[in-house]
Structure 1
Amino acid sequence: MHFVSPSFLSFVANVSLIFHLLRRDLTSPTHQMRIKSLMNAIKLKSFLFDGFLAGWTALFALGVLVFWLSGSPQKPIRAATRLWVRGILFGLKHIVGLDYAEKGRDLIPDEPCLIVCNHQSTWETLAALVLFPDVAIVAKHELLRIPIIGWYLRKSPMIIIDRESGSKALKAMLKQSHEAIASGRSVLVFPQGTRMDESEPIAFKRGVELLYSKLGAPVLPVLVNSGKFWGPSGSSKRGGTITVSYLAPIPPGMSAELFVQKAEAQMEAERSILP
């Protein structure tokens, strides 16, 4: 018969004591005040960043007039948009304390490709313009209504679709994606269709498999965990490091069904191990 050693019993007792002290501390008024102070600091930093963003974006309103007078050249407009995003990322890092780290960047194909990325917050929509220079992002039509930003989206141009128009939206997305690839630009789509909570499993909406089948380009799956730091409403942002994971490219030529299964499985496996 094997008996439990005294040293093990001592270890269990010590662990129990630690948990008891932690629980008592978490419910203490002092600890609750610390939590409240931390939340207030997060709100203040988010507020300061929002003010910075408004002022930084206002500067680009002047660019609209300059580009309009010069015939709205696409490449300078895209370069200006990247500068705008770099400023936003600078503000996030130095005001909020929110930075990002890339993992597997060497996996990005040299040729134009179809990029499929999960969607948790506004962050990846913006950062994509820096991570993938000259990328053409599939974006919803409603974004065109945003002053200044809508103009830059239209003139870049991005791939704008009206989700309410059904099959017409798919045809328009395919046509514009073909044009982007032919001009040397990669195409980025958020296959989940909308922002999802970080706990939600990866599941593609209809339309991505059509792009894969018709474009004949390699696919780069990308996964981010931005939802841990940037709330879905956009009002709450906290410091930390967002991870951007580039996964093994998927070659063209598979069946649409097999492609979706493979891409979802790759992204879900990465989601399960990200911090």
Structure 2
Amino acid sequence: MQRLRSKLFDISLAVWTALFTPALAILWLCGSPEHGVRVASRLWARGVLIGLNWLVGLTYAEHGRHNIPGEPCLIVANHQSTWETLAFLILFPDVAIVAKQELLTIPVFSWFLRKSPMILIDRGSGSKAVRKMVDESRAAIAQGRSVLIFPEGTRKSVSEPIAFKRGVELLYAKLDRPVLPVALNSGHFWGPEQRFKRGGTVAVTYLAPIPPGLSGSQFTRTAEEPLEAERAQSWPQAA
């Protein structure tokens, strides 16, 4: 039954995404205003999460919202699922997500990524990608938008320890902003090793913010350790 519910969600996701094609055309005719594009992308993401709840029985619960800084910040989150890529559009309206350029191959979704705009990085371009990430993150912060990065670089198994890729500490140093670590256990329900999506409640835990001014190694250690502690103890039962 759960496999069938997951398949029905996949079909509904394709239909829901296709319904946004007219919205894309209207926004394009209006000059692709960034605010309008972000409002449309949040509406799309909200519909996806509602579909997950209705069809799969997958919802989420937030913990530690008092830790969210009252100013634009750098958000670092562990990455276990496609779920958080969608959910952060709702959790942090107007967030600028550092994403891999390969996502531009996805129809409709790629247009919203470009026009929101998100920070799209070609991971094969080395130092050029890092400079682009820093420059566009600074621009987003100046606009009052928080920046989200998944410092592990790609989705990881729920059993794999958290380890940041190089470059995140440079972004931390250059932005000179507080960092909000966010721990997720989404991979237990919708992960790269899952054959189908499972019902349950994704835990979204906002950990204590990290102040600017630490060395690169201090920052990495201070961010990795609490995220790893959450990952190691977060083994919920699927519905």
User: Given the two structures, how large is their TM-score scaled by the length of structure 1?
Assistant: 0.84
Query: Contact between 1:78 and 1:134, CA under 8 Å: does it hold in 2?
Result: yes
Query: Contact between 2:157 and 2:193, CA under 8 Å: does it hold in 1?
Result: no
Counterpart code for 1:241 = T
Query: Contact between 2:183 and 2:204, CA under 8 Å: does it hold in 1?
Result: yes
* Further displaced range: 63-72 or 225-234: 225-234
Query: Contact between 1:92 and 1:99, CA under 8 Å: does it hold in 2?
Result: yes
C-alpha offsets along residues 207-229 of structure 1, whole Å, 9 cap, x if unaligned?
Answer: 10011000001000001000100
CA–CA distance in 2 between the matches of 1:72 and 1:233? 37
SS at match of 1:188: strand
User: Given the two structures, how large is their TM-score scaled by the length of structure 2?
Assistant: 0.96
C-alpha offsets along residues 54-97 of structure 1, whole Å, 9 cap, x if unaligned?
Answer: 11101111111100100000011101100000000000001000
Query: Contact between 1:61 and 1:148, CA under 8 Å: does it hold in 2?
Result: yes
1:234 Cα deviation from its structure 2 partner: 6.9
Counterpart code for 1:132 = F
- Name the counterpart of 1:162: 122
- Name the counterpart of 2:76: 116
CA–CA distance in 2 between the matches of 1:270 and 1:226? 12
SS at match of 1:200: coil
Percent same amino acid at aligned positions? 64
Structure showing the higher helix proportion among its residues: 1
1:233 Cα deviation from its structure 2 partner: 6.0
Query: Contact between 1:122 and 1:234, CA under 8 Å: does it hold in 2?
Result: no
1:101 aligns with 2:33: no
CA–CA distance in 2 between the matches of 1:148 and 1:234? 25
CA–CA distance in 2 between the matches of 1:103 and 1:199? 22
- Name the counterpart of 1:27: none
Query: Contact between 1:104 and 1:247, CA under 8 Å: does it hold in 2?
Result: yes
CA–CA distance in 2 between the matches of 1:192 and 1:110? 26
C-alpha offsets along residues 13-53 of structure 1, whole Å, 9 cap, x if unaligned?
Answer: xxxxxxxxxxxxxxxxxxxxxxxxxxxx1210111001110
Matches within 5 A, 1:52-63: 52-63=12-23
SS at match of 1:196: coil
Counterpart code for 1:49 = F
CA–CA distance in 1 between the matches of 2:91 and 2:195? 23
- Name the counterpart of 1:48: 8
**Which of 21, 37, 47 does residue 87 from structure 1 map onto?**
47
Query: Contact between 2:83 and 2:190, CA under 8 Å: does it hold in 1?
Result: yes
Matches within 5 A, 1:1-275: 41-232=1-192, 236-275=196-235
Asked which structure has the greater RCO (Cα within 8 Å, sep 6+), the reply is: 2
Q: CA RMSD in A?
A: 1.0
Q: Which runs of 5+ in 1 are unaligned?
A: 1-40
1:105 Cα deviation from its structure 2 partner: 1.1
CA–CA distance in 2 between the matches of 1:44 and 1:59? 23
Counterpart code for 2:67 = L
Distance 1:234 1:149, change over 3 A: farther
Query: Contact between 2:181 and 2:209, CA under 8 Å: does it hold in 1?
Result: yes
Q: Which runs of 5+ in 2 are unaligned?
A: none
Counterpart code for 1:189 = I
**Structure 1 ranges of 4+ moved more than 3 A:** none
Counterpart code for 2:6 = S
What is the total number of aligned residue pairs between the two structures? 235
Query: Contact between 1:46 and 1:235, CA under 8 Å: does it hold in 2?
Result: no
Counterpart code for 1:244 = V
CA–CA distance in 2 between the matches of 1:62 and 1:234? 33
